[in-house]
Structure 1
């Protein structure tokens, strides 16, 4: 498979993305550089679909990379079709253009996923001829490429299945349906081991993680402490304004979020869903830390956020991840933390803790900001070993093994 490398020039001010691969999988290295990561991802998908070979001139033109044609090679003329054939790509583009309910950034993500994971294999196929076998093989190819079952479920559930459903309905003016059946109906996800997310399971593990965070950068550590103690998403905690903090009630309210739109991080004045509007309690120590930051913000004209990057603005995820986060789990493991933590794993850690401590499901769903408690329990709550010792005591008492072994000794 091809790889994508992040490259920085002019002292880190300019970022480029390079796609590189071994020709045919085992030959010499070849590569192509891009200004934007999304273009690099699209090009990588073409290289992978082409068996680790550079895309053909026809493919370059078709997928919007005509500027990469070799010198002296003219853009191939599009062949005259014998008759118009409605391809999956053409139907998908029309479907995307008619969506009105999703946020524009959500529509952009749908298009990006289709360009990267679906169009290279199915884009040129007549949508009416795509079979169930093709869709099963497509799913398995994503699994073989290393995508998780959850990622594949997101791709098919958010875009592929709705496209086929739309194709099975008559047109707006009564035209006959493009398809008679949905090839995704009843098609299970490809089998494979579910990767269990690492979480902090004990006070000692939380202490090791936080010690590492404060050793790397106290400013960043305050943000991570708030994230771990509240279960907030990245976009919620990084855009938290002082006005959302209630010192008297020791709570924070989610009133705005940070979201990436057209490759830029912007603050939006409302959460994505109505469940996103919620009030989250703070422990005494975290409430003091947040209150001190709010007081500092009041003394700094123009400061809009509780947690700020070195230049005084909100943290961009990429900067925080690259400059701060990657150092923290490594240091925590050196200190003895037996986990490979991710930033989102902090949210999983809190929700698992609350579930194991018996917090009722309604409160748990509210803390998470989920529409359904099923999402909270099935995705965010993990099995831990905290029950092992109570189980040993209960089962040992039931069996009376200790008395038997003592008598036998």
Structure 2
């Protein structure tokens, strides 16, 4: 418990020092605060005791209670973030719902530490670079349940999730800078050092050799499911793009047969009418693309669309409707993979790994990454490089040979005096 110790001075004056151990435990740090009169010391002692042997909230040593800084038009960061998300245009309802969830679960815990070391709920105006750094570290670490150390109040976030949330926070803070009237003059997220994505295993990509894929395909007993798997690994299309293809998207009689990727299945917001999925645009602007088809893929497509109308799906489940990912995975893909594993397959690929496998086959054939970016529909070449650049080791020999050839030719020497 906190107690008062009188401190007499040579001039006859007496000061009163409130002393306690932080947190009340034996291992806590010794704390003290000095007062000029006993009444003030007694009031402060009672506050320390009421706060469980901690400094009273808002109290600054040597200064007393200090009000947090305020700014005109300032609001809690979560409130401002929700307003920002509500006003976003050009996004789907599902995306808006996801952003609101991020604000509710992660931005609401942002704290601001003032110049005196006191913590306050963060606002759009008071948030600092140090506050953002502290928040990133807290996201990395997570928060364990005080009542049960085996459980989590908030689980540790992986680097990719942290980067995505930080990117959203950056845009929110920037909007306060661009606001009229302006609420901030600088973006406190600009210099944040984020965890490196490659320091952790975020997405365990699996690349199949051709014979490994064939071992799985041989276990898919449903011919319609086998056709879809062959198409996915042969084109590199996303699941939502391939299963949304309609007969009218195919051009099979031209000199350069192709498929037009112009729609994909989207997950609807909770409670939306019409079911859990709907047809919308592809993932990015560059995901709208024409894919050249090989002769094998042309034959496959012709066989599938014979007798169908322009609006019919190219790939159809047993009842004639579009495939659903969960049904395909649980009833077709997973049993085939497990059967192949029992026979010695050393990998357990997901459906999305067929897209990764397609890329690995292209790189093995020395297709350059910019061409792969276009084929996959990546918005940025950086995405392609970050995800698949490490597979280009097959070009090392060519690079070494080119360097050797260049260095092996003596450079012309001019301006030298000839020695006879």
Give unmatched runs, 5+ long, in structure 1: 1-82, 395-409
Q: 1:319/1:111 Cα in 2 relative to 1: closer, same or farther (>3 Å)?
A: farther
What is the deviation of 1:120?
A: 4.9
1:113 and 2:98 aligned:
no
**SS in structure 2 of the partner of residue 102 of structure 1:** coil
Aligned-partner Cα distance in 2 for 1:94–1:245: 43
Aligned twin of 1:181: 186
Aligned-partner Cα distance in 2 for 1:334–1:369: 35
Aligned-partner Cα distance in 1 for 2:186–2:251: 54
* 1:350-401 Cα distance to aligned partner (Å, 9 max, x none): 123212322134422210112322221212444378689x79xx9xxxxxxx
- Normalized against structure 1, the TM-score is what? 0.64
Aligned-partner Cα distance in 1 for 2:91–2:364: 35
Aligned counterpart for 1:148 among listed residues 124, 142, 158: 158
1:374 and 2:382 aligned:
yes
Contact 2:216 2:337 (8 Å CA) reproduced: yes
Aligned-partner Cα distance in 1 for 2:105–2:131: 17
Contact 2:177 2:185 (8 Å CA) reproduced: yes
Contact 1:252 1:281 (8 Å CA) reproduced: yes
* 1:299-348 Cα distance to aligned partner (Å, 9 max, x none): xxx97211122332212333333443433433332233322322222212
What is the deviation of 1:281?
A: 2.4
Aligned-partner Cα distance in 2 for 1:348–1:381: 12
1:102 and 2:91 aligned:
yes
Aligned twin of 1:168: 177
Aligned twin of 1:310: 318
**SS in structure 2 of the partner of residue 229 of structure 1:** helix
Aligned-partner Cα distance in 1 for 2:242–2:258: 13
Aligned-partner Cα distance in 1 for 2:340–2:157: 27
What is the deviation of 1:126?
A: 2.4
What is the deviation of 1:230?
A: 0.6
**SS in structure 2 of the partner of residue 128 of structure 1:** coil
Aligned-partner Cα distance in 2 for 1:138–1:316: 38
Aligned twin of 1:13: none
Contact 1:265 1:316 (8 Å CA) reproduced: no
Aligned twin of 1:292: 303
Q: 1:207/1:98 Cα in 2 relative to 1: closer, same or farther (>3 Å)?
A: same
Q: 1:381/1:311 Cα in 2 relative to 1: closer, same or farther (>3 Å)?
A: farther
Give unmatched runs, 5+ long, in structure 2: 1-71, 113-120, 142-154, 271-275, 402-420
**SS in structure 1 of the partner of residue 259 of structure 2:** strand
**SS in structure 2 of the partner of residue 359 of structure 1:** coil
Aligned twin of 1:356: 364
Aligned counterpart for 1:132 among listed residues 96, 106, 129: 129
Contact 1:88 1:122 (8 Å CA) reproduced: no
Count how many residue pairs are aligned between Structure 1 and Structure 2: 298
Aligned-partner Cα distance in 2 for 1:304–1:324: 22
